[in-house]
Structure 1
């Protein structure tokens, strides 16, 4: 029999369901009364049953017996017709006999005392109860082994200890069952909420639940990854953490992603065996919907996929705090100070309550640096002013070289950048700042900074480095709202993506305001790097940044500065034979840039703008003649149709030829495709494209017939699968008063 976790080691796991199932009754939460326990009550035909649970996981039997002696008067006063006791303490027959004598006549029968082994026995008898409490179910050894085995393929560096730690601190709340139901109903779930409320944790718990049921987990860093991996014959759950936070929310950057997202959502919806979990900060999601016509499209109706999290009941807030104090091993003296000063109640009820702050303030690394007598005050001060959580540590606890590394990381890939790339940008920035401000510098500064910051400010996974959590990125975004500082960073830029990230950050409209011309001029010395030529002579930059991204940046810089340096850079990029132009990455954007160059109001004073427009148009024609996938062809055709009056006959003709060729190859492409939903979208795309190229209806019908034949073949291979059902056994009556709260935390005291 697989080893199981101790049921009452998880105080949020109610014994009401388990023992109620055993006796065939339904327990209600026991209101405030003489017994101060976390209890259940059942009344029928004038008879009352009282269930009392004592959470003393890891404590000696003497502690439990002492507590029951104190309860004796309350139990006698209640005079229940039936009294039941559940405890996490291991019990022998002798111990049960001793407890029975202590409890008194209300007990009636020693069999009504349920120890650790008894409760685990009930779990084996009623597995549906265990599964309704997802945290308990995931912590079972057999399930955890399945999760770990499956997760190892998705997260290369994940360990059993990491999964167990996440499960231990997770406090199940109604959002879990709501999210599971929405995911099954829609196949797509967008978890939205403020920073730090547990969006990623909820997404991970859902992912683990699917893993345990035999689904393949595919964490993706881009929608391109998702399109490449989807297979309708497999049970797959995709997870994309903070998907909108990975792009700057200017119209150009979002336009590159939102249509892809809309298309991927439709594809997941159509797939029989795919699920898609996305997380996003609420304010970013709302801004994206405001900016993006695709996300705001009523036909897509993304609102039906969205679950807002972050609203917690008092009980759940208490459980989150309890779990973190317990798992972190916070000193009893600190916990006692919270209880005796009444701070527990103030924390749980605080208007700024946030799981991320709870995690920070209960972590031993931070809590041990605070005297127990000051711990309650410091805890509340952090809740009153959450920004101090990072501000004190950033300004006072680390040296200049470490701050330089944190500056560097802000403009790197948000969810993990290769250490080698970070080192390049760090060394350049660190050298510049040290020289400018007269600070000392050592060849080992990068390694030493990584050692100082790891675990407190940054995470290292394999060769990837990132901020430890999004709240620090939010803090840095406020800290870096300084035009002079950003100009320093530009001057020291050594990688295109890094320089591009600075510009995107600065031009979101709120960071540097009217200093954009000054900032744009700061890019002039690094123009060779923006083109793709290393200032230092190496070729690091050749493989970074697409041609259209480079063009877009230098044209933006020209718009703000009117410098001929950037105009020359644009021509250099367009003429560079080493640039690899890709339809999926550059096609639509080159068409838009071509139209904007010819349209008044965009680049009116740009030198010989028609020459640049012609050069870009030639690249698009070459792409179309070389072959374009159906999805990319549709997007390019849409852009061409919208700007047709500004485009040449050669480009229109090349588009029509590409459409005709795609319809001719429809049968061959269908035979190479394993996704039913992809094929259904292809039918829709070809039906839209055919009239634009005057394709005869008979030829289109033949192409559609070939695709439908392939769809039928896939349907025979694919069996539609339902996801796991994690519906709670019953809604919990959430009565949680001060006495119950104090009793919960008192169990953490060991002296």
Structure 2
């Protein structure tokens, strides 16, 4: 492919030229600063002979601009007395132009062939494709690759635009974490990107995903592990991406016990698949807390640490590049950039202990910097780094009105990855009306539309029909702001759906100290018990198809525990005994078994009215599921739960579980014929081998079933071709010395226009 190099910054272009011409000459160039009038962007010395390389990035500019620049640098070049001088430029050159440059440069240039124009550099890229691949910004910004990425991503990221992808690629500062993550992902098939908030975890995940898309892989963003299990197909090249996966799970033992075993299963599933890759991001402190309370994530047999790449520690050069890219691309006023450079603030920003790409993005964005006078810009920039919370606090408290804050409250209990505008409007109207009436605020029918206009681009994003917070850091801010019991009680009253009410309670539970209770908040849910005990499991406005019978039961039991109100106990009985409630093994089976055991075990629901009545009803629901047939994975999980709580369960439920195991083994051959995944079948063999002794299945019957599954595996192997992911050769390492002079020279480039 042919490049015009317009998407590369000056430093990016110099990096490319050093690597590319270095490969052409089979030498390694030292890197020098990108400042003006230095005459050196790369140097190679051997046996007393010195080769000087200079890069001039003037893509889109007239030839006269390059010629004038070289005329100014003639004295610097002469003073260097190089044994060999090389010039590389992004401008297209003709023989006549090279001759003119040769005259301008003078005797340091030994041969016109030592001048490399746009077409020469493209020729070298074709000759050395590994250099092209190693410069991911160049490769991803090419027209052909962008077209492939855009086409492949159309189904994955609703309403994503070419401009959005190009903008992300332009500001991305490639660093060693990219090649490290690509290598780890190929070796392990799983990559967990961990780090503090705002350090670029999602950006790195997206760059990796784009790279795979460009190579013809399918990108599948998932919001929960059920989506992943449903979509994985060993015969296709698939990259799964799960952004902030642990942030979507309440970090209490009960919640993790239901979710992390699924994560462990999916990790094993991906590792055993020849053509699946799985990228997850998580904030470091959440990941460490999850490992502390989760037996599955801490299990040495899973060894999740080998999948983890910690990001967020940047060299001084990379910090400077990130700041440079944002100032260059974001449209920051030149007067503001000059104020940073001339006051020496650039060095203070790059070296600041709170340096964070998210703060850099915010403070360089023209939308946010526009209201700050250039003379005050350096002070404001440093003040934000000194106190990152003010990034949102001042704007949230002082720059928007009450109706806009009400919309932001509403979105906090929405899906993090975006909610439908129409659904958000319904919830906003309910909350907005309640708060306006209670606090005597005015209200208008157009408040929702006006709030969206005010907030879009600064606090929220709109993509197609989806609305979400502009980035995770604002959700973090809101999590701190909303830790107020009285405020949360205000949010309960207008709840119109189970999902919203459940999100409020779960947020409050995460915010409390372990072991504490909040009876007042629990009692605030009494007026909306009909919503909590609703029996039709429909599409919930907040979380999609959730709010299952077991989730509602568990929620009501928690409210009873904290309030001791019989209203919640009666609602729990209503759900359990209502014949119209739909129960599914994949979402309810294990939960119901555990709830049954807890109702009979001391220390969980002491003083609950007639716990045996509820326990018997839940057992009958589980038995009905087992008799109707369940998937092997769900049967294994349910059997595990039965084995763990056997002393607290009835003989009838234990017998129903054994019968389900017998049926599963009997139908193993038939089900194998309908399965196209080799790794799924291998897991099924493992599951059946584990389950068979629990139902006293004779070994010959088990062997027959395993043989049928093995035969199907062999057939799939003959059909499936293993695919390797993209090979990204990292750029040549360099000694990363980046002093103040080099730092100032880099940013001086932004003042030369």
CA distance in 2, matches of 1:443, 1:65: 63
Alignment correspondent of 1:642 = 644
Structure 1 contact 481–512 (Cα < 8 Å) conserved: no
TM-score by length of 1: 0.96
Alignment correspondent of 1:676 = 678
Structure 2 contact 4–118 (Cα < 8 Å) conserved: no
Structure 2 contact 297–304 (Cα < 8 Å) conserved: yes
CA distance in 2, matches of 1:161, 1:483: 43
Alignment correspondent of 1:352 = 354
**Judging changes above 3 Å, is the alpha-carbon distance between structure 1 residues 6 and 427 closer, same or farther for their aligned structure 2 residues?**
closer
Establish whether residue 11 from structure 1 lines up as the match of residue 14 from structure 2: no
Cα distance, 1:502 vs structure 2: 0.8
SS in 1 for 2:635: helix
SS in 1 for 2:244: coil
**Judging changes above 3 Å, is the alpha-carbon distance between structure 1 residues 373 and 503 closer, same or farther for their aligned structure 2 residues?**
same
Could you tell me which runs of 5 or more consecutive residues in structure 1 were left unpaired when the two chains were aligned: none
Aligned residue runs from structure 1 range 270-669, under 5 A: 270-510=272-512, 516-532=518-534, 544-669=546-671
SS in 1 for 2:82: coil
Greater mean alpha carbon deviation, residues 685-694 or residues 140-149: 140-149
**Judging changes above 3 Å, is the alpha-carbon distance between structure 1 residues 98 and 374 closer, same or farther for their aligned structure 2 residues?**
farther
CA distance in 2, matches of 1:112, 1:401: 64
Cα distance, 1:67 vs structure 2: 4.0
Q: Deviations over 1:619-651 (max 9, x none)?
A: 011111111110000000000000000000000
**Judging changes above 3 Å, is the alpha-carbon distance between structure 1 residues 737 and 85 closer, same or farther for their aligned structure 2 residues?**
farther
Structure 1 contact 2–142 (Cα < 8 Å) conserved: no
**Judging changes above 3 Å, is the alpha-carbon distance between structure 1 residues 583 and 37 closer, same or farther for their aligned structure 2 residues?**
farther
**Judging changes above 3 Å, is the alpha-carbon distance between structure 1 residues 457 and 658 closer, same or farther for their aligned structure 2 residues?**
same
CA distance in 2, matches of 1:209, 1:675: 25
Alignment correspondent of 2:182 = 180
CA distance in 2, matches of 1:87, 1:137: 18
Structure 1 contact 188–277 (Cα < 8 Å) conserved: yes
Greater mean alpha carbon deviation, residues 737-746 or residues 178-187: 737-746
Alignment correspondent of 1:712 = 714
Structure 1 contact 339–742 (Cα < 8 Å) conserved: yes
CA distance in 2, matches of 1:728, 1:269: 24
CA distance in 2, matches of 1:321, 1:58: 23
**Judging changes above 3 Å, is the alpha-carbon distance between structure 1 residues 512 and 67 closer, same or farther for their aligned structure 2 residues?**
farther
Cα distance, 1:473 vs structure 2: 0.3
Cα distance, 1:11 vs structure 2: 2.2
CA distance in 2, matches of 1:473, 1:513: 25
Alignment correspondent of 1:22 = 24
SS in 2 for 1:172: coil
Greater mean alpha carbon deviation, residues 451-460 or residues 655-664: 451-460
**Judging changes above 3 Å, is the alpha-carbon distance between structure 1 residues 446 and 558 closer, same or farther for their aligned structure 2 residues?**
same
CA distance in 2, matches of 1:140, 1:735: 31
**Judging changes above 3 Å, is the alpha-carbon distance between structure 1 residues 303 and 38 closer, same or farther for their aligned structure 2 residues?**
farther
CA distance in 1, matches of 2:506, 2:689: 38
Q: Deviations over 1:658-692 (max 9, x none)?
A: 00000001001111111100000000000000000
Structure 1 contact 182–305 (Cα < 8 Å) conserved: yes
Aligned residue runs from structure 1 range 141-156, under 5 A: 141-156=143-158
Cα distance, 1:426 vs structure 2: 1.2
Greater mean alpha carbon deviation, residues 330-339 or residues 193-202: 330-339
**Judging changes above 3 Å, is the alpha-carbon distance between structure 1 residues 511 and 441 closer, same or farther for their aligned structure 2 residues?**
farther
CA distance in 2, matches of 1:657, 1:248: 35
Could you tell me which runs of 5 or more consecutive residues in structure 2 were left unpaired when the two chains were aligned: none
Cα distance, 1:119 vs structure 2: 2.1
CA distance in 1, matches of 2:104, 2:348: 35
**Judging changes above 3 Å, is the alpha-carbon distance between structure 1 residues 731 and 549 closer, same or farther for their aligned structure 2 residues?**
same
Aligned residue runs from structure 1 range 682-721, under 5 A: 682-721=684-723
Count of matched residue positions in the alignment of Structure 1 and Structure 2: 748
CA distance in 1, matches of 2:472, 2:407: 16
Cα distance, 1:254 vs structure 2: 1.7
Structure 2 contact 53–85 (Cα < 8 Å) conserved: yes
TM-score by length of 2: 0.96
Q: Deviations over 1:372-421 (max 9, x none)?
A: 11111111111111111111111111110010010011111111122232
**Judging changes above 3 Å, is the alpha-carbon distance between structure 1 residues 32 and 492 closer, same or farther for their aligned structure 2 residues?**
closer
Structure 2 contact 193–308 (Cα < 8 Å) conserved: yes
**Judging changes above 3 Å, is the alpha-carbon distance between structure 1 residues 405 and 660 closer, same or farther for their aligned structure 2 residues?**
same
